[in-house]
Amino acid sequence: MFYAVKTPKLLTYLFSSLIWKIPNDNKTVYLTFDDGPTENVTRKILEVLKNEKVKASFFCVGKNVEKYPDLFACIKAEGHAVGNHTNTHLNGWKTNKKQYLEDVEEADKLIKSNLFRPPYGKLNWRSKRDLQRKYKIVMWDVAGGDFDQYLSIKDVVKNIINNVNPGSIVVLHDNQKFMAKTVEALPIIIKELKAKKYRFGLIN
């Protein structure tokens, strides 16, 4: 499995119309969670965030919102931001434009957000052009790697702590498959970033 913990600068330059980070002067970083809501993970993530008094942004899959409406409502009620992550978690490189856009719009009926993040970070340019008429397309510049079976909790924490800077958008996952790693790493990540005087912001 290949992925970049720190998004290459060339990629952010070539696709500069996408949101990779949110530069600021007050050491604010942005925690984001993809794929939820999920039955056993969302509440645990919300509990950590509540205990640490931190707000985050959740990029939700429409089918999961439909399945767990109460969890989706909890995310919003606790003051977190929500974004569209398609209805069925489609790969934008393997899906034709019409099907992809229809899937996004199906999710929008439930999520109702101007934020969008493509699953796997994969989006073809035709879909991108149309989506940008309605959505802010939010990517990331730091990937924790909680989805990587070969990484330990300590590795995930290290990936984030060693690569963030003011304005960084960090991607983690609200996903049953990675639950133990994400939930265990999250409070450590937050505490270590706080110790470095970082703040946490919402994407809107």
Per residue in 75-94, pLDDT tens?
999 999 999 999 999 999 99
The answer to the question of residue 50 being in a domain is yes
**Would you say the pTM of this structure is higher than 0.85?**
yes
Eight-state DSSP code of residue 136? E
The single residue of 80, 89, 173, 174 carrying the catalytic annotation is 173
* pLDDT tens readout for residues 23-34: 999 999 999 999
Examine residue 151 and state whether it is found in any structural domain, yes or no: no
Q: Which of 25, 34, 80, 85 is catalytic?
A: 34
Query: Is 63 contained in some domain?
Result: yes
Write the pLDDT tens digit of every residue in 163-189: 999 999 999 999 998 888 999 999 999
In a domain, 3, yes or no: no
Work out how many domains the chain is built from and give that number: 1
1 inside domain: no
* Contact of 116 with 136, CB cutoff 8 Å: yes
Is residue 130 annotated as part of the catalytic site, yes or no?
no
Q: Which domain holds residue 174?
A: 10-137+159-200
Instruction: Check which CATH number belongs to the domain holding 17 and give it.
Output: 3.20.20.370
Q: What is the pLDDT of residue 2?
A: 63
Residue type, 145: G
Has residue 123 been placed in a domain? yes
- Active-site annotation holds for 34: yes
Phi and psi dihedrals of 182, rounded to 5? -65, -50
Is the pLDDT at 1 greater than 60, yes or no? no
* Cα–Cα–Cα angle for 198, 38, 85, rounded to 5 degrees: 70
- pLDDT above 90 covers what percent of the chain? 96
